Structure 1
Amino acid sequence: MTGKLPHQIILSAGMPRAGSAWFYNLTRDCWLAAGGDDIREIRKTYPLESVITETNQNIDNFTLRKTILILLPFLMGKYFTIKIHFAPMPLGRSLIRLNWIHPTFIYRDPRDALLSAYEYGRRVEKTGRVNAFSHLDTIEKSIDFMSDYMTDWETWMHLADPAIFRYEDLLTDYYQQAERLVNFLDLDLQSQKIRNTIEKNKPRDAAQKTGGHFSKGKIGRFRDVLTPEQIALCEERFAPYLEKMGYEL
C-alpha cells in the first residue's frame, strides 16, 4: 500500500499468555510507521482513560459505554489500534460486520499458555502485587482458567479469519508471519519504516522489553513441567480443540 491508510480500527485479539502483547506492539508500531494515529495520544485527548488501559491499550470488552466512547475518535476521522482478550460482545461483533473494526487473533498451545499464566501469577505474587493471574495458585486452577477461553478461541477463529496467527509460528517463522500481518493491514512492505519496525520487534529484541511476556516462551515446555496427572487433565479438557488448533496431544 502506498496511499492513505483505510479508516478503521485494528483490534488485536489474543489468548492470554500467547504473546498477545508482543503481537499487539508489532501491530501498533507498524500502523504508526505507516502514518496511523497513536492510540496512546488519542487516549489522552478523548475521554478514554477509563475505557482502555495505559499499557497495551486493552479495551476489555465492548460494553455500550465503552463502545460509544471508543467510536468518538473514530467518527472524528482517527484510525488506530486497540487490544482485547475476550470474545467481543454483540456491539463489537456488529462493528466487525460493518468493517469499522478489523480484527487479528493470536493463540498458543493452551497447555503452554496455562503454565505461563500460573508461573507469571506466582512471580507477581512474590513481589506483593496483584494481576489477572494472581489467583492461579495451582496448575489445576490454571487449567480451569484456560478452559474458559476455548469458546472464545472458537469465536475468534470465525471473526478474525484470515488474520489468525499462532504464537509458535511467530517465534519460529517471524519474518513470514510479520509479512502476513503487514499485508493484512494493507501496508507497504517495502517501506523502510515498516521494515525497521519489523526488525525492532523480532523475538530477541522484543524479549528485552518490559512486561514479562518472554520469561520463558519455549514451545512444548508443559511436557517437562506438568505431572502425568496434570497432562492427562489437559488432554481431557483440551482434546476437542488441540487438533483444530494444530497441536498434538
Structure 2
Amino acid sequence: MLVLSNGIPKSGSSYLFKLTRDLLKTSINAENAVREAILKGELEGSDLFVSNLNDKSLLLLDSISKEFGPLAVKVHEKNLDRFSCFLTQEKIFTPFTYRDPRDCILSSLDHRARTNGEVFQNYGNVSDAIPNVKSWAKSAVLYLKSDCCAIKYESLIEFPEQQLMKLAGYFGISVTQAQAEKICLDELESRKKGTRQFNTGLKNRYIHEMTSSDIDKCNIEMRDVILTLGYSLS
C-alpha cells in the first residue's frame, strides 16, 4: 500500500501524516528506502517529504511500497491530475487536508516568522499570501469532488479519533474506537515530549488576529472558495 498524504500547507497535513503512519504501521525498510532515494537524488525532498511528484517518482514510490510493505510519504501537490492515473490502482491512496484559507494565511505567516523568511518567502503580509492560498483552496475544492479522502482541519483537531476511523475506512483497515483513541493519545504524548512538533491547533484564528480590513480583503478575493469549502464569511 502506498499513501500520498497531501493537503494545503498549514492545514494539519503533518498531523494527518503522523496519524497515517501510525495507523498503517508503515514499513521501516520502505521509509529508509525513500530516504536513501532522496540522498541519491532519485527523489526530491527531505526525510519522508517528497517535493516533486512526477511519473518517475510515483513509479519509484510504488515499487518501494510493493517491495517493502506499507509506505506513506507527505506531499503538497495542487494538481490532482498529476497522479490521478495512479489512483486507479488499488493500493495507492491520497488523503487530503484542508482548512479555512484565512487561517492558513495566518499559520503561514507564523511559519515565515519562525524561519526568518526562509519558508513562505513571498508571504510578507496577508495581501501577499492571498493569491497562493486562494490557488491552493481552489485545488482543495477539486480534491473534495474526487475519490480522495478529504479531512477538514477543524474536524481533525476537535475529533481526531473520528477522523482517524474515517481514514481507516478509506484505507480498508479495520480499527476499533479504542485503537483509534490510543493512536491519537500516543501522538499527543509524543508532541509533549518534543519528538514531534506541530502548531497549536486553533480554528477561526482570523476572527481574533486579522485586522478588519484584512478580513474584508480575504472575504472579497476568496469569497467563492471560502464558501465552497464550507466556511462562513462572518
TM-score normalized by structure 2?
A: 0.85
**Counterpart among 222, 227, 247 of residue 206 in structure 2:** 222
Listed one character per residue, the Cα deviations across residues 9-28 of structure 1 (whole Å, up to 9, x for unaligned) are 11211111011001100001
- What runs of 5+ residues in structure 2 fail to find an aligned partner? none
Instruction: State the AA in 2 paired with 1:165.
Output: I
3-state SS, counterpart of residue 45 of structure 2: coil
Is residue 2:4 matched to residue 1:16? no
Instruction: State the AA in 2 paired with 1:248.
Output: S
Tell me, in whole angstroms, the C-alpha distance in 1 between the residues paired with 2:146 and 2:90: 11
User: How much has 1:113 moved relative to structure 2?
Assistant: 0.7
Match of 2:155 in 1: 169
Match of 1:106 in 2: 97
Match of 1:5 in 2: none
Q: Is the 8 A contact 1:21 1:213 kept in 2?
A: yes
Match of 2:45 in 1: 53
Listed one character per residue, the Cα deviations across residues 79-102 of structure 1 (whole Å, up to 9, x for unaligned) are 311121123464511001233421
Instruction: State the AA in 1 paired with 2:135.
Output: D
**Counterpart among 86, 99, 119 of residue 95 in structure 1:** 86
Q: Percent same amino acid among aligned pairs?
A: 18
**Counterpart among 139, 144, 160 of residue 157 in structure 1:** 144
Is residue 2:118 matched to residue 1:130? yes
Q: Is the 8 A contact 1:106 1:164 kept in 2?
A: yes
Match of 1:3 in 2: none
Tell me, in whole angstroms, the C-alpha distance in 2 between the residues paired with 1:193 and 1:226: 39
3-state SS, counterpart of residue 159 of structure 1: coil
3-state SS, counterpart of residue 148 of structure 1: helix
Tell me, in whole angstroms, the C-alpha distance in 2 between the residues paired with 1:149 and 1:143: 10
Bigger drift between 12-21 and 205-214 goes to: 205-214
CA RMSD of aligned residues (A): 2.6
Is residue 2:221 matched to residue 1:234? no
TM-score normalized by structure 1?
A: 0.80
Tell me, in whole angstroms, the C-alpha distance in 1 between the residues paired with 2:123 and 2:140: 21
Match of 2:130 in 1: 143
Q: Size of the alignment, in residue pairs?
A: 230
Q: Is the 8 A contact 2:5 2:96 kept in 1?
A: yes
Listed one character per residue, the Cα deviations across residues 135-174 of structure 1 (whole Å, up to 9, x for unaligned) are 312121112221121232122213344x211111111122
- The 5 Å alignment of 1:188-199 reads 188-190=174-176, 196-199=182-185
Change in Cα spacing, 1:22 to 1:175, as seen in structure 2 (3 Å) is same
Tell me, in whole angstroms, the C-alpha distance in 1 between the residues paired with 2:206 and 2:104: 9
- The 5 Å alignment of 1:174-185 reads 174-185=160-171
Tell me, in whole angstroms, the C-alpha distance in 2 between the residues paired with 1:206 and 1:221: 22
Match of 1:37 in 2: 27
Bigger drift between 136-145 and 180-189 goes to: 180-189
Q: Is the 8 A contact 1:122 1:137 kept in 2?
A: no
